[in-house]
Chain A
């Protein structure tokens, strides 16, 4: 299941604008990797290149290598649709499909890909995914209700259930808790800790306590100035980053001193 991702010399462009430059990093399987840094430094952009969501934006492109278990995601034979089936994603704002019920939202990965499944198998998959997202007890009596009728935190867990229902190897999370209250955030953090047993998780967060709480490794992104590309300044075990970082810039950012 969980797979290792090696990124080497990755440059990310929007048109001719170099947004992120020279990223080299190894993301370990069965662990949570957190990406922190100021707004606009390219954390989310980098995250989106890991499952080829970046190129959905017109003009966006990538140079360099992203290798998942020996398989180059940007190789000539790699199909972005296949890549995204292996690397799921949860977005900043919960985005359940408004036309679908809770059940259909979780089954969406299967249904939209027209994979034939027996009703009983699908039922089982939906229950397993919802249990995996710690949502089953809350919604089991109203699976046919619209997904958009849930609270924000429940919607986000629904989106996680939807993402793990396609059984990916890696789960990317782009500030999954930034729109949620502390209780829902705690629920999602607990969930991440459970999920890391089976998945490789990469999370972008603005909340440094969150990074410190949940992650094994942390990467700090920064940029030198407006119009300059973002860079991965430091990548180390979380404990080291938050106690004794190698770089001055990391220490300044974490302790709240900028510039």
Chain B
């Protein structure tokens, strides 16, 4: 291994500190290329396994680089190179599932990413064709309802916590909001189901039930993000408004909220992204249907996550068409979440207080 990292040309001045040389810039690449070659050789002895090959190459390359650096550059520099290699590897490991997931979902989902998928429901579909028109609209309607319920409650709670509450009550609310953040989503679903069963009897399935269940999950997220953003509004601005003889509620409405609007918008958008892909609560509250239902107050609705779940677990015969539809639904969900994240960034860019001269 050491042969691949030529010892640097030592000058007379180096005599005092023999290990004060420097590896050339291409040394790390050379180390890892050499390690890759050795790993390939090792692999050829047995069966070729891509994962094992990468592991061998990274471990051997790191070792080689460390040793080479230790010999030529000294201990401090060698440690630096070792830690750099370890941190970079950790980043690589973290990226593996993300890249693999996107790769897989895009590759499989693209098959049915066509007009029919967006244009038709599953009514009368056995096997080929069909789409998720009903599920797309179901998801949009239920998410919109959830937002409609959660945003006013969440924002007002946050305003209360930041501007008005103090002492024990404030601590209690903050504590319960924290607890709510950690509620398992199926529990939220069962809560909404139990609530509606009280009024409509067992077996009830309504779109609004799903919205209520998702609100239980979304409200604490909105509260926490809005609270953080409102706390960031400088107290000086509130005092400036008070000193002008502006009442407190007007100060909040006209000064605090406009100053924080970018952060509030971002928080709400990310909270929507958080609930748009929830499956379990919708499974027990909204159910699934093959037909299009735009009325969240009347009967079952289809939603993208539940649609994907049923297409995958109950694909029918032959199964491959339904499984393709499930992948496309998954792809659509990922795109929705990504889109919402982009929207959140745009909001924070365009609504941020301007400081231009």
B107 is an interface residue with CB less than 8 A from chain A: no
| Contact B250 A113, beta carbon cutoff 8 Å | yes
Q: Give the Cβ gap from B159 to chain A, nearest Cβ, in Å.
A: 16
Q: Give the Cβ gap from A18 to chain B, nearest Cβ, in Å.
A: 22
Residue of A58, A93, A109, A148 touching B166 (CB-CB under 8 A)? A58
Beyond A58-B166, A99-B259, whether A112 also contacts B356 by CB under 8 A is: no
| Contact A89 B243, beta carbon cutoff 8 Å | yes
| Contact B240 A97, beta carbon cutoff 8 Å | yes
Beyond A145-B356, A145-B357, whether A97 also contacts B243 by CB under 8 A is: no
Binds B, one of A77-85, A180-188, A229-237: A77-85
| Contact B356 A149, beta carbon cutoff 8 Å | yes
Contacting residues of chain B (233-288) with chain A, CB-CB under 8 angstroms:
234, 236-247, 250-251, 254-255, 258-259, 261
Beyond A98-B259, A113-B250, whether A166 also contacts B356 by CB under 8 A is: no
B353 is an interface residue with CB less than 8 A from chain A: yes
A146 is an interface residue with CB less than 8 A from chain B: yes
| Contact A53 B245, beta carbon cutoff 8 Å | no
A60 to B353, CA, bound (A): 32
* Chain A residues closer than 8 Å to B244, beta-carbon distance: 84-85, 88, 108-109, 112-113, 162-163, 166
| Contact A81 B247, beta carbon cutoff 8 Å | yes
A201 is an interface residue with CB less than 8 A from chain B: no
Contacting residues of chain A (2-32) with chain B, CB-CB under 8 angstroms:
none
A76 is an interface residue with CB less than 8 A from chain B: no
A93 to B324, CA, bound (A): 62
B355 is an interface residue with CB less than 8 A from chain A: yes
A89 to B250, CA, bound (A): 18
A253 is an interface residue with CB less than 8 A from chain B: no
| Contact A149 B357, beta carbon cutoff 8 Å | yes
* CB 8 Å contact bits of A39-58 with B (1 = contact, 0 = none): 00000000000010100101
B contacts with A, residue count (CB < 8 A): 26
A247 is an interface residue with CB less than 8 A from chain B: no
A91 is an interface residue with CB less than 8 A from chain B: yes
A56 to B50, CA, bound (A): 66
A25 to B63, CA, bound (A): 79
**Majority DSSP secondary structure for residues of B touching A:** helix
| Contact A91 B245, beta carbon cutoff 8 Å | no
A145 to B355, CA, bound (A): 9
A98 to B250, CA, bound (A): 16
A95 is an interface residue with CB less than 8 A from chain B: yes
Q: Give the Cβ gap from B136 to chain A, nearest Cβ, in Å.
A: 37
* Chain B residues closer than 8 Å to A111, beta-carbon distance: 254
* Chain A residues closer than 8 Å to B168, beta-carbon distance: none
* Chain B residues closer than 8 Å to A96, beta-carbon distance: 240
Q: Give the Cβ gap from B210 to chain A, nearest Cβ, in Å.
A: 37
Contacting residues of chain A (81-121) with chain B, CB-CB under 8 angstroms:
81-86, 88-89, 91, 93, 95-99, 108-109, 111-114
* Chain A residues closer than 8 Å to B243, beta-carbon distance: 51, 53, 84, 88-89, 91, 163
| Contact A81 B245, beta carbon cutoff 8 Å | yes
* CB 8 Å contact bits of A132-163 with B (1 = contact, 0 = none): 00000000000001101110000000010011
Q: Give the Cβ gap from A20 to chain B, nearest Cβ, in Å.
A: 19
| Contact B245 A166, beta carbon cutoff 8 Å | yes
Beyond A51-B243, A112-B255, A114-B250, whether A93 also contacts B353 by CB under 8 A is: no
B25 is an interface residue with CB less than 8 A from chain A: no
| Contact A84 B242, beta carbon cutoff 8 Å | yes
Determine the residue in chain B with the shortest Cβ distance to A112: B246
Residue of B237, B250, B354, B357 touching A95 (CB-CB under 8 A)? B237
Contacting residues of chain B (324-357) with chain A, CB-CB under 8 angstroms:
353-357
* Chain A residues closer than 8 Å to B355, beta-carbon distance: 98, 146, 148-149
Determine the residue in chain A with the shortest Cβ distance to B357: A149
Determine the residue in chain A with the shortest Cβ distance to B257: A99
Q: Give the Cβ gap from A168 to chain B, nearest Cβ, in Å.
A: 8
Q: List 17 A-B contacts (CB under 8 A).
A: A53-B243, A81-B247, A85-B244, A88-B243, A88-B244, A89-B243, A91-B240, A95-B239, A95-B240, A97-B237, A108-B241, A112-B246, A112-B250, A149-B354, A149-B357, A159-B240, A162-B240
Q: A98-B353, A113-B246 are known; give 4 further A-B pairs, CB within 8 A.
A: A81-B247, A98-B354, A99-B258, A163-B243
Binding site for A on B (CB under 8 A): 166, 234, 236-247, 250-251, 254-255, 258-259, 261, 353-357
Binding site for B on A (CB under 8 A): 51, 53, 56, 58, 81-86, 88-89, 91, 93, 95-99, 108-109, 111-114, 145-146, 148-150, 159, 162-163, 166
Q: What are the nearest 8 A-B pairs in CB distance?
A: A85-B245, A98-B353, A89-B243, A149-B357, A95-B236, A109-B244, A84-B245, A112-B246
